[in-house]
Amino acid sequence: RADDGYRLWLRYDRVADESLRATYAAAFTEIALPAPTRPGFSLGSIEAARDELTTGLKGLLGVDLSTVSQPTRDGALLLGTAVRSPELAGLVSEADLRAASEEGYVIRPVIFAGKRCVLVLGNRDVGVLYGAFALLRHVQLHEPIAGLNLVSAPRIQRRLLNHWDNLNGFVERGYAGQSLWRWFELPDIVSPRYRDYARACASIGVNGTVLTNVNANALVLTPAYLQKVAALANVFRPYGIRVYLTARFSAPVEIGGLKTADPLDPAVKQWWTDKVAEIYRIIPGFGGFLVKANSEGQPGPQAYGRNHADGANMLADALVPYGGIVMWRAFVYDNNVPADRHTQGFSEFQPLDGQFRSNAIVQVKNGAIDFMPREPFHPLFGAMPQTPLALELQITQEYLGQSMQLAFLGPLFEEVLDADTFRPNAGSTIAKIVDGSVDLHGISVIAGVANIGDDRNWTGHPLAQANWYAYGRLAWDHQLTSAQIANEWTRLTFGNDSAVVQPITSMLLESHEAVVNYSMPLGLHHIMAEGHHYGPGPWVDQAGRADWTSVYYHRADANGVGFDRTKSGSNALAQYAPEIQNLWGNPATTPDNLLLWFHHLPWDYRMKSGRPLWDEIALHYQSGVDTVRTWQKAWATLNGKMDDERFTHVKQLLARQEHDARVWRDACLLYFQQFSKKPLPAGVEPPE
Ligand code: GCU
């Protein structure tokens, strides 16, 4: 059958091994729902769990499970919450219930009403839904039923996707078609795809979605659009997903008829207070606002002589009565400020620590420049202990080959989450700062800029689905490894045959580093083509906009290459903890992969490998190309082991990636060679 990738990792294909299938079928004979969410009618999370289990187990096992209110035989799947079904809560320990916390679950064999059952218990309804997905994953992965004991809860409270979707359907930095949200049709036409989106998100624990672009359009806050948003929110609610919107700071002027958007002006405050009240009337459970202000031309409080905290607090005050939050982005820089762009976010935000309301979160990109293929962690992490900081990751591959190239981002996300800020002390990783455990914040947020569009396979590149998956899994549990996640995703998406799983998993795990190697190795950054950001452009030198040019970042000259961010240069390094400054302040102790981020070094600088810098750069470019070629060989072994559609599509994409990797290598080496004036070392193919 044609496979267009629509089903993502929720494929539910029949378990081929008959004896395994029979074991599962004996373990799952019916679904018992002692206390439905809303008896008799609309869909709540428990009903969504029931529906998913019914569909999933029908696919996997070929059985039709009926729903009963009490178990009638052995093998009942018993779904419920501790709150509404105390008799179920009594089947597990207090410690289990605590471990499941607000949104998690406990899954375990129990005896209930004299029958052998599998209990899927949450403290709240949504926990049951997450449990249902975990159980289905268990079966999809062909894990044993004997000794089944799954207890899990998320470490971060708000796990969001950020869609950079415009109201006209265009997705900024989106490479998988148009926006999923069909604003013109809504609210009258509610595409079934919205539910599938919600299922996919819930299956990995994503519980919030910002529907609109950070470069915001105020129109989404008008009544007609709010009705459309409400229609989406209604579909998402049973799946535990709240909707959020981007708030354009100048909305009171643009759609409110006011003369000013000054956050300290009483009329402006009133306008937002009324607007928020209206939103909650139309969209119960609305999550809050995401704001990009005073950055890249977006309006903001600075136009009125106010600061980011003034702006954020005004919105936070309007949202607080409803439990809403505001996520205020720290991605700000200005070409007219002479300082290294790397330092600007920190300089504007760090002094404001302690001035934000408790429901205002500062949302920080993983790195200070942008979402470079590799970037040192953002120095704001650890430097604003009184403010909850959200981590913003980019799932869409703006600088990583977009939807044309394989770049599995699990290792990148893991690298960021595990980075040690040394603030206030060693072991204060970004993950622990974001989940609130270092500074004991009551609120925690993680955001991923979505790679989803209306392409049938959702993400353009079939293997880019793994990035959506990896983001969600790490947002739920940042202690998972990307190797575990890659293995899990591959098995869910391509089946459990090790001859398929092994090569795909290896490709995924190598891919991020390979893209770094053939595009921006050794800490080179921002040397991509102008505007669209696909492919090389180390020569980009745009008059009047230094912070958008490549020459500003690589600084290649006859003496060497790299951006000196130590004391002798921009001193951006001073924004990090002393331990980091000591390490990265010296080229000898700076990891190779960040070397040129922090240092300008001569072309014949002796690397740890013993090779001169120029040779090392060239060999990294070559190694990136070589790695892609090994994937082409590995992929060829999968012919006949999967559907032709996905096989051929990925085969073509890999051929294109090999070509594009060569373009990167040749363009960058030829460009830099003008300065190094050195020959290519042995092992590097001459440019074509
Ligand atoms: C990058 C990206 C923009 C985006 C911006 C942001 O600069 O290229 O398209 O708007 O980040 O995160 O605000």
Assess if residue 6 is contained within a domain: no
Residue 42: band (very low, low, confident or very high) from pLDDT cuts 50, 70, 90: low
Residue 43 pLDDT class (50, 70, 90 cuts): confident
Euclidean distance between CA atoms 77 and 31, whole angstroms = 5
Give the residue from 135, 153, 142 showing the smallest Cα distance to 53. 135
What is the arithmetic mean of pLDDT over 630-641?
Answer: 98
For a mutational test of ligand 1's pocket, the pick from 164, 213, 392, 549, i.e. the residue with the most ligand atoms closer than 8 A to its C-beta, is: 164
CATH value at residue 53? 3.30.379.10
* pLDDT at residue number 38: 64
User: How high is the pLDDT of residue 83?
Assistant: 87
Are 520 and 513 a contacting pair, CB within 8 Å? no
Angular region, 436: left φ>0, alpha ψ -120 to 50, beta rest: left
Give the residue whose CA is nearest to atom 12 of ligand 1. 331
Say how far apart CA 513 and CA 650 lie, in whole Å: 19
Distance 370 CA to ligand 1 centre (A): 8
Q: State the closest ligand 1 atom to the C-alpha of 394, by its place in the atom list counted from 1.
A: 12
25 and 64 in a single domain? The answer is yes
**Can you give the pLDDT at residue 39?**
56
Ligand 1 center from residue 360 Cα (angstroms): 21
Judgement on whether residues 88 and 173 belong to the same structural domain of the protein: no
Tokens 């990797």 correspond to 661
Which pLDDT score, from 0 to 100, does residue 319 have?
A: 98
Task: Write the residue with the smallest CA distance to atom 7 of ligand 1.
Answer: 370
Respond yes or no on whether the N-terminal peptide bond of residue 591 is cis (omega within 30° of 0): no
pTM for the structure as a whole: 0.98
Residue 219 Cα distances to 42, 225, 248, angstroms: 31, 7, 9
> According to the model, what pLDDT value does residue 67 have?
94
Residue 8, domain member (yes or no):
no
User: What pLDDT band is residue 421 in, cutting at 50, 70 and 90?
Assistant: very high
From 87, 102, 274, 296, the catalytic residue = 296
Quick one: 323 and 344 in the same domain? yes
User: Does 528 share its domain with 559?
Assistant: yes
What average pLDDT does this structure show over 512-520? Answer: 98
Q: Among residues 172, 265, 278, 370, which one is catalytic?
A: 370
Question: CB–CB of 312/326 below 8 Å?
Answer: yes
Residues 119 and 176 in one domain: no
Tell me, what CATH number does 320's domain have? 3.20.20.80
Ligand 1 nearest atom to the CA of residue 295, by list position: 13
> Does residue 589 lie in a domain region?
no
Q: Counting atoms of ligand 1 from 1, which one is nearest the CA of 296? A: 13
Q: Which of 317, 398, 415, 660 is catalytic?
A: 398
Q: What is the pLDDT of residues 281-290, one digit of tens each?
A: 999 999 999 9
In a domain, 488, yes or no: no
pLDDT in tens, 98-136: 999 999 999 999 999 999 999 999 999 999 999 999 999
Query: pLDDT > 70: what percent of the chain?
Result: 99
Atom of ligand 1 nearest to the CA of 533: 8
4: number of Cβ within 10 Å: 15
The verdict on 557 and 449 lying in the same domain is: no
Is 325 in the same domain as 366? yes
What ipTM does this complex have? 0.99
Pocket of ligand 1 (CB under 6 A): 172-173, 214-215, 292, 296, 331, 370, 398
Q: What is the pLDDT of residues 499-513, one digit of tens each?
A: 999 999 999 999 999
Atom of ligand 1 nearest to the CA of 365: 12
* Inside any domain, residue 89: yes
Q: How far is the CA of 417 from the centre of ligand 1 (A)?
A: 21
Told to judge if 370 belongs to the known catalytic residues of this protein, a careful annotator would answer yes
Q: Is residue 510 part of a domain?
A: no
Ligand 1 centroid vs 180 CA: distance in angstroms? 20
Please check whether residues 124 and 236 belong to one and the same domain. Answer: no
Mean of per-residue pLDDT scores for the chain? 97
Who wins on pLDDT, 542 or 568? 568
Q: How far is the CA of 342 from the centre of ligand 1 (A)?
A: 15
Domain extent, residue 36, equals 18-152
Tokens for 200, please give them.
């996919």
Number of domains in the chain: 3
254 labelled catalytic: no
Q: Domain containing 625 — which CATH number?
A: 3.90.1330.10
For a mutational test of ligand 1's pocket, the pick from 163, 166, 295, 331, i.e. the residue with the most ligand atoms closer than 8 A to its C-beta, is: 331
**Is 90 within a domain?**
yes
Does 360 share its domain with 382?
A: yes
Query: In this predicted model, what pLDDT tens digit does every residue of 601-624 receive, in sequence order?
Result: 999 999 999 999 999 999 999 999
Interior/surface letters 129-165, b for 16+ CB within 10 angstroms, e for the rest: bbbbbbbbbbbbebeebeeeebbbbbbbbbbbbbbbb
On whether the CB atoms of residues 160 and 242 are closer than 8 A, the answer is no
Tell me which of 450, 480, 510 is where a domain ends: 480
Our mutation pick for probing the ligand 1 site, out of 166, 171, 173, counting the most ligand atoms within 8 A of Cβ, is 173
How far away, in angstroms, is 289 Cα from ligand 1 center? 18
Residue 390 confidence (pLDDT) above 80: yes
End of a domain among 480, 498, 526? Answer: 480
Pair (63, 162) in one structural domain: no
Say how many Å lie between the CA of residue 215 and the centre of ligand 1: 8
Of 152, 171, 205, which marks where a domain is finished? 152
- 375 belongs to the catalytic site: no
Q: How confident is the model at residue 525 (pLDDT cuts 50, 70, 90)?
A: very high
Residue 668 lies in a domain: yes
Specify whether 145 is located in the same domain as 166.
no
Q: Cβ neighbours of residue 19 under 8 Å, at least 6 residues apart?
A: none
User: Do both 170 and 96 map to the same domain?
Assistant: no
Report the atom number in ligand 1 closest to the C-alpha of 172. Answer: 9
CA–centroid distance, 270 to ligand 1, in Å, is 31
